[in-house]
């Protein structure tokens, strides 16, 4: 299996679209009402992010649209394209504004904002793309997206954004569209035990549970766990560089073990154990745009999935980046796939990008938010549908 570093990135856009609701939805005006006096200024600022982006989108102004992202932001669009950095986002969305998304606007159907730390918020939305003079959302242009917003120097900006098409109910029964033949119901070879993500070049090996965590490199930098990259985010203030490095290394190892717990539960078909790796109030968006809420619902649904369309499967990580942005919050972006039975290579139609927000509560790391998007496959619709009357 090819192990690729995060530096080899596909280009992408923040295009919003999808296939979804059975009923058309009448839409309210895009502009948000002014916040009442005495309202929480952070809540007002977070709501203003969407309004400013919608305004920039309607004008086809990619620079203004990308200005709402941090300089080092990550974005995964409905095609599963992953891009990094405000300038790259601006360039790519500018291309789409001049092509597939020309003369379009976005409208918001639903939104929830949840604070996970004083300077970090998760925003979940259902949005729709409208072409020309359209005022009603067509189901083919509906998506669900997750944003992680951070407050820097008094301003709220998007650190991470991921978007997924909302698929019809029947599509959720076959999320990977098994074009390469059915998954083996009775694998002839026992499934491999859950393994950590692949080791990036020149990275130290991950210490197994109970062993010492990675220490300092010769240069004094933190020796990260395999496949991990640093985002440049400020580390928590600690007593000394050595103490800081030791604490960061320990947290990276703990976050890796969380992934191992998930991979082990998945390969054993234990949906309840998989759900237990999420916070009680977690949000989970899968590759079909289905939104699950709470660890209990995640565990219940995965118990079904792991004994139906995901039976005899295991998850594999191809790329990974962890941003430890505070002592209690981490962002994780992974590219991975699903292996069925004795497979040891990724089927192209199971490759996806996912973004997790992980929080530490009572000394334990758990996933607060997870969002997954399939990487584009030939023949699979991953752009909004233009108006039938549009030329």
Spatial CB neighbours of 56, under 8 Å, sequence gap ≥ 6:
62, 64, 65, 67, 68
Higher pLDDT, 124 or 31: 124
Query: Which letter does DSSP use for residue 272 in this model?
Result: H
Tens of pLDDT, residues 69-88:
999 999 999 999 999 999 99
User: 62: which 2 tokens?
Assistant: 């990619």
Higher pLDDT, 212 or 294: 294
Higher pLDDT, 331 or 391: 331
| Of the candidates 252, 248, 218, the residue with the CA atom closest to the CA atom of residue 236 | 248
Tens of pLDDT, residues 55-68:
999 999 999 999 99
Higher pLDDT, 391 or 172: 172
Q: How far apart are CA 293 and CA 296, in angstroms?
A: 8
Residue entry with tokens 């669900």: 144
Q: Tally DSSP H helices, then E strands, for the chain.
A: 6, 14
276: phi then psi, degrees, rounded to nearest 5: -70, -10
CA 211 to chain centre: 30
Over 80: is that where the pLDDT of 180 sits? no
User: 153: which 2 tokens?
Assistant: 């120097």
Q: How far apart are CA 140 and CA 125, in angstroms?
A: 16
Secondary structure (H, E, C), 147-183: EEEEEECCEEEEEEEEEEECCCHHHHHCCCCCCCCCC
The 10 Å Cβ neighbour count of residue 378 is 7
Res 40: pLDDT: 82
Residue entry with tokens 């154990």: 273
Between 1-10, 120-129, 139-148, the lowest mean confidence (pLDDT) is in 1-10
Q: Residue 31: left if φ>0, alpha if ψ -120 to 50, beta else—which one?
A: beta
The 10 Å Cβ neighbour count of residue 64 is 15
Q: How far apart are CA 207 and CA 229, in angstroms?
A: 17
210: phi then psi, degrees, rounded to nearest 5: 90, -15
Tens of pLDDT, residues 248-284:
889 999 999 999 999 999 999 999 999 999 999 999 9
Spatial CB neighbours of 190, under 8 Å, sequence gap ≥ 6:
none
User: 142: which 2 tokens?
Assistant: 């509906």
Res 31: pLDDT: 38
Q: Provide DSSP, 76-117.
A: E-TT--EEESHHHHHHHHHHHHTTTTTTEEEEEEEEEEEEEE
Q: What percent of the chain has pLDDT over 70?
A: 66
Q: What percent of the chain has pLDDT over 90?
A: 54
SS3 320: strand
Over 50: is that where the pLDDT of 130 sits? yes
Res 316: pLDDT: 94
């Amino acid at each position: 299996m090819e192990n690729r570093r995060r530096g080899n990135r596909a280009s992408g856009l923040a295009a919003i679209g999808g296939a979804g609701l059975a009923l058309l939805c009448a839409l309210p005006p895009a502009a948000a009402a002014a916040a009442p006096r005495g309202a929480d200024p952070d809540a007002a600022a977070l709501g203003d992010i969407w309004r400013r982006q919608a305004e920039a989108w309607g004008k086809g102004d990619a620079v203004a649209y990308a200005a709402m992202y941090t300089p080092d932001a990550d974005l995964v669009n409905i095609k599963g394209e992953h891009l990094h950095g405000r300038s790259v986002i601006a360039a790519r969305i500018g291309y789409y504004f001049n092509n597939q998304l020309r003369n379009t606007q976005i409208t918001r159907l639903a939104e929830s904002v949840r604070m996970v730390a004083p300077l970090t918020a998760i925003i979940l939305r259902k949005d729709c793309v409208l072409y020309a003079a359209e005022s009603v959302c067509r189901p083919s242009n509906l998506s669900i997206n997750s944003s992680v917003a951070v407050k820097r120097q008094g301003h709220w900006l998007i650190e991470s954004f991921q978007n997924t098409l909302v698929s019809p109910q029947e599509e959720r029964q076959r999320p990977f569209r098994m074009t390469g033949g059915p998954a083996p119901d009775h694998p002839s070879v026992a499934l491999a035990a859950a393994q950590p993500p692949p080791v990036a070049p020149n990275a130290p090996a991950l210490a197994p549970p109970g062993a010492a965590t990675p220490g300092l490199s010769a240069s004094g930098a933190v020796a990260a766990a395999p496949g991990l990259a640093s985002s440049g985010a400020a580390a928590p203030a600690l007593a000394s560089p050595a103490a800081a490095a030791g604490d960061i290394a320990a947290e990276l190892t703990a976050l890796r073990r969380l992934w191992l717990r998930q991979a082990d539960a998945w390969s054993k078909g234990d949906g309840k154990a998989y759900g237990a790796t999420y916070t009680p109030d977690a949000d989970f968006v899968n590759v079909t745009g289905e939104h699950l809420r709470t660890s209990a619902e995640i565990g219940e649904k995965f118990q079904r999935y792991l004994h139906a369309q995901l039976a005899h499967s295991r998850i594999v990580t191809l790329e990974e980046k962890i941003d430890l942005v505070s002592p209690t919050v981490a962002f994780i972006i992974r590219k991975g796939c699903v292996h069925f039975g004795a497979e040891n290579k990724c089927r192209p139609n199971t490759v996806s990008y996912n973004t997790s927000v992980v929080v530490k509560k009572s000394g334990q790391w758990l996933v607060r938010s997870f969002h997954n998007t399939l990487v584009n496959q030939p023949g699979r619709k991953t752009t909004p549908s233009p108006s039938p009357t549009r030329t």
